[in-house]
Amino acid sequence: MKKRIVTYLRGVLTIALAAAVLTGCGAANSGSAQTASAVVDSAAEDSAPADSQDSAADASSEDGITIGGLWGLTGFIADYEIPGSEGFELALEEINAAGGIDGKQVNYVSYDAQSDVSQATSLTTKLVEVDGANVIVGLGDPNAAIAAGTVAQDHGVPSLATTSTLPYTQDRVGDTAFLVPYGDNIQAAAVAEYAYNELGAKTAYVVTDTTDEYTLSLSKFFQSHFIALGGEVFGESTYDDNGYTDFSASIQKVKALPESPDVLFFASFTDQGPTIIKQYRDAGLDQPILSGDGLDSTEIAEIAGEAANNVYFSTHVDYTESGDVSKFYEAYNKKYGKEPLNAFAALGYDAAYLIKYAVENYANGDYSSESIRDAIAKVTDFKGLTGTIDYSSGNVPNKTVFICRFNDGKKENLTSLVPEISADENN
Amino acid sequence: MEKIKDKAIFKFITVVVIPLLILIVIETKMNDYYKTVVILLFINVILAAATNFTNGITGIFSLGTASFMAIGAYVGSLLTLPPDMKCSRIQGIPAFIAEIKLPFFAALLISGLFAAVFAGIIGIPILRAKGHYLAVITLGTVIVVKSLLDNLTSITNGSRGISGMEGYSTLPVTVLVTVLSLYVMYRIKTSSLGRGMIALKNDEDAAESLGISRFRVRLFSFMISAFFAGIGGCLWAHLQRSIAPSMFYLTETFMILEMSVLGGMESLSGAIPGAAIITFFPYLLSDFSTGGEIFGIKVPKINGITNIVMSVLFILVMIFRKGGIFRENDYIFDAMFSPDTYSGLFKKEHDDVLKKDV
């Protein structure tokens, strides 16, 4: 009998703990703003799933557009998607406070895709079918963006990827998939040009994370452009695990080269950033390290400290610029109480204003998905924080690339450039 | 007088009529989102049942289901993709693979066979181990298969994955394949071979003394499990329509294991509640993860709420019901696949009574 009571007590305690976790967080965060009135709408629609398709469609045509947010807020892509979603929600709040799009409030429903492809596809279906989203933003890493984008494509709904920089998104998904950032071909070429022209590098060694489409194409485009410029790539090491922590094999390969390369190029994500940088520096390899926007995170400089000096990477925005960028920077700081971790916050912010710009200028009051897709495709001169977006020559914009470096634990903007890429490099 | 729950008509209504009606309503009235989630449930049921088949019934604790699923998904996708799409997307694909284009059901069968053959080959050495050692080795196969898929770029397109498959896994197709798979697994479980598997789990030496070949029976069980995991993978690929090696890695491995353990490892029916919890919970909780208002209660934004709730649930099950929800009982399939359920509908009451007297 006593044992039973203990068992039940344990159960009750566990439930109480779970409840405390849920409600406790609730009390702390209840001020966290939810944009727009959409939440109420979506809740109402959830309770009537059978006829939601019709009601969702009706609601969206009357009340202005419905934007579906699909963000990887947990999992490996969260470092990029949390800032992105925060930037997007900030912009949406501003837009709605200023009267919305075409004078109508914007509905916004968003879900956490957990960096998981099956969640991404089914939640995209949910956004489109249940919540009646006319356009989808976010989408996660390239693999998830392709899967979710394909679902959106099937429903004719445009998708705006803010994190994925896959240059051939349109070929893989279709004409409804747009990128807000530039493609990997552009950023890799810009880094190669900077290294070749500014750092005077003639030889390079490449380390590639083979687990993701992003790092693979970044590495490929860097090598092809560096060689096209006249440089030489000594070799490439690969690793194929997100949890990889021991880079000694590739370090030995670099050390065994008859001539030490002028620069090292790491195609990797934030997770490995500090580890790989530290290990290379500890091994006495102190030439400049180059990377793409995957290493764009102030945390890397903080964790790696001095080892991160002389690390150069491409990014999408220069937060030290005055004007709109500094306004955004302050608004972000005010709303979230922190600095944007990386450029993806600005990309999310741009995505919201891009939708506003496209719909107000080209949609002529028609808020169907087809009309919004056509409107976005017509954008040729949208000036956002991250540069000018022009979709006239394809769904991946050709934007300015900003080159940064880490210096004493801080991110330092160096220059911006638009690389010249020959057509055959794009495949 | 027999109990209501033992009556054929009750069994027939609860395990056949009601689920069928629900499925018909979903298929005809619901939109794609709800269909997708239900299809996902059925695929997860196959995967969990395949895992139970080795882990619970034969007593080989295998973590390799995700790797067999991966093989099924890749083989199935490569067989159904149109040749021109394969050539343009996968650089350097061998011509004989690029030229094949099979109907979906043939691809489904072949993907299962591939997974089974793979399991047979690796099973010969690894089934010599048992217990924790076997679990670790099968976890190794998950890593090896992922590494192979990452690096055999001319066939698998590396970590870029393959996309553009047709959405063949519709609700009727998935339900049909799931019911067939479960039927076959259930029949094997209840055959003399299946009883041999259970005997091996309970006492290897005693079972061997009765003429059950430890090696053959375990290998057979491992291959059957892999076959259905491969079929599940192929269905999954044609539902998601985009696959990459990272999708069949540790997250998937432990998700399948969670389903299997929650439902009850030793029962094939356990796959149903286990898969239902793991499949539906993330979607029920997806509203919580971004905050908002649910049933009039204001919910704040909590990232990762799904993981918190799932782990608490898992701990609760482990404390209060160690054998999983169904323990070793096969209520659902005993009722669904037993001929008595169907023939019993047409028998008069006294037939049963007579039978009992005899």
Kindly determine whether residue B319 and residue A10, on different chains, have CB atoms separated by under 8 Å: yes
Which of residues B73 and B338 earns the better pLDDT score?
B73
Closest by Cα among A348, A314, A316 to A331? A348
Dihedrals phi, psi of A352, to nearest 5 degrees: -65, -45
Chain A hits for B146, Cβ within 8 Å = 240
* pLDDT for the residue numbered B290: 57
Interface of B with A in 30-69 (CB under 8 A): 30-34, 36-37, 40
Please give, rounded to a whole number of angstroms, the shortest distance from the CA of A248 to a CA of chain B: 19
A4 contacts: CB under 8 Å, gap ≥ 6 = none
Q: Is B148 an 8 Å CB contact of chain A?
A: no
* pLDDT for the residue numbered A423: 59
In the predicted model, what is the mean pLDDT of chain B?
87
Q: Is B300 an 8 Å CB contact of chain A?
A: yes
A6 contacts: CB under 8 Å, gap ≥ 6 = none
Strands A159-161 and A135-138: parallel
Nearest CB among B31, B303, B319 relative to A73 is that of B303
Residue B197 predicted with pLDDT over 90: yes
Please give, rounded to a whole number of angstroms, the shortest distance from the CA of B94 to a CA of chain A: 20
Interface of A with B in 26-55 (CB under 8 A): 26, 28-30, 32, 34, 39-40, 42-43, 46, 49-50, 52-53
The owner of tokens 């370090």 is A251
Rg of chain A over Cα atoms, rounded to whole angstroms, equals 23
Which of residues B106 and A28 earns the better pLDDT score?
B106
Mean pLDDT of B122-149: 92
Residue A34 predicted with pLDDT over 60: no
Domain range summary for chain A, segments of one domain joined by +: 38-182+321-396, 185-315+403-426
Mean pLDDT of A185-197: 92
Burial degree of A12 (CB within 10 A; 0-12, 13-18, 19+): exposed
Spacing of C-alpha A337 from chain mean position: 21
Which of A38-52, B27-41, B261-275 tops mean pLDDT? B261-275
* pLDDT for the residue numbered A54: 43
Kindly determine whether residue B241 and residue A121, on different chains, have CB atoms separated by under 8 Å: yes
Residue A421 predicted with pLDDT over 80: no
Which of A47-51, A203-207, A316-320 tops mean pLDDT? A203-207
Kindly determine whether residue A74 and residue B282, on different chains, have CB atoms separated by under 8 Å: no
DSSP A390: -
Chain B hits for A216, Cβ within 8 Å = 158-160
Is the CB of residue B233 less than 8 Å from the CB of residue B68? yes
Please give, rounded to a whole number of angstroms, the shortest distance from the CA of B132 to a CA of chain A: 23
Same fold, A38-182+321-396 and A185-315+403-426: yes
Minimum mean pLDDT range among A44-58, A382-396, B242-256 = A44-58
Classify domain A185-315+403-426 at the CATH topology level. Rossmann fold (3.40.50)
Which of residues B301 and A56 earns the better pLDDT score?
B301
Pick the CATH number of A38-182+321-396 from 3.40.50.2300, 3.40.190.10, 3.40.630.30, 3.40.50.300: 3.40.50.2300
CB atoms closer than 10 angstroms to residue A45: 19
Helix (H) or strand (E) holding B299: strand B297-299
CB atoms closer than 10 angstroms to residue B144: 13
* pLDDT for the residue numbered A312: 92
Residue B78 predicted with pLDDT over 60: yes
Residue A23 predicted with pLDDT over 70: no
Mean pLDDT of A336-355: 91
Domain range summary for chain B, segments of one domain joined by +: 31-327
Chain B hits for A21, Cβ within 8 Å = 308
* pLDDT for the residue numbered A243: 66
Closest by Cα among A196, A163, A180 to A269? A163
**pTM of the predicted structure, to 2 decimals:** 0.80
Chain A hits for B246, Cβ within 8 Å = 143, 211-212, 242
In the predicted model, what is the mean pLDDT of chain A?
82
Nearest CB among A11, A28, A210 relative to B159 is that of A210
| Residue of chain B with shortest Cα separation from A36 | B292
Spacing of C-alpha A212 from chain mean position: 14
Question: For residues A371, A161, A152 and A130, what is the CA-based torsion angle, rounded to 10 degrees?
Answer: -90
Mean pLDDT of A305-324: 88
| Residue of chain B with shortest Cα separation from A27 | B300
Which of residues A104 and B353 earns the better pLDDT score?
A104
* pLDDT for the residue numbered B202: 92
What's the ipTM?
0.72
User: Mutate which of A13, A92, A112, A208 to test chain B, going by most B C-beta atoms within 10 A?
Assistant: A112
* pLDDT for the residue numbered B11: 84
Range list of H helices, A155-235: 169-172, 184-193, 213-229
pLDDT of B277-309, one tens digit each? 998 887 777 666 555 555 556 666 666 677 788
DSSP A323: T
Minimum mean pLDDT range among B44-58, B86-100, B149-163, B289-303 = B289-303
User: Mutate which of A118, A170, A212 to test chain B, going by most B C-beta atoms within 10 A?
Assistant: A118
CB atoms closer than 10 angstroms to residue B4: 8
Interface of A with B in 56-115 (CB under 8 A): 69, 73-74, 78, 82, 110-112, 114
* pLDDT for the residue numbered B179: 95
Mean pLDDT of A380-387: 89
B25 contacts: CB under 8 Å, gap ≥ 6 = none
Kindly determine whether residue B303 and residue A46, on different chains, have CB atoms separated by under 8 Å: no
* pLDDT for the residue numbered B160: 77
3-class secondary-structure state, position A314? strand
Dihedrals phi, psi of A64, to nearest 5 degrees: 95, 180
* pLDDT for the residue numbered B42: 96
CATH classification (class only), B31-327: mainly alpha
Q: Is A153 an 8 Å CB contact of chain B?
A: no
Q: Is A13 an 8 Å CB contact of chain B?
A: no
Q: What is the distance between the alpha carbons of residues A179 and A164, in angstroms, rounded to a whole number?
A: 7
Question: For residue B111, what pLDDT band results from cuts at 50, 70 and 90?
Answer: very high
Chain A hits for B89, Cβ within 8 Å = 172
pLDDT of A92-140, one tens digit each? 999 999 988 888 899 898 888 888 887 888 889 889 988 889 999 988 8
Mean pLDDT of B107-131: 94
Which of A58-62, A162-166, A293-297, B72-76 tops mean pLDDT? B72-76
Count of residues for chain B?
358
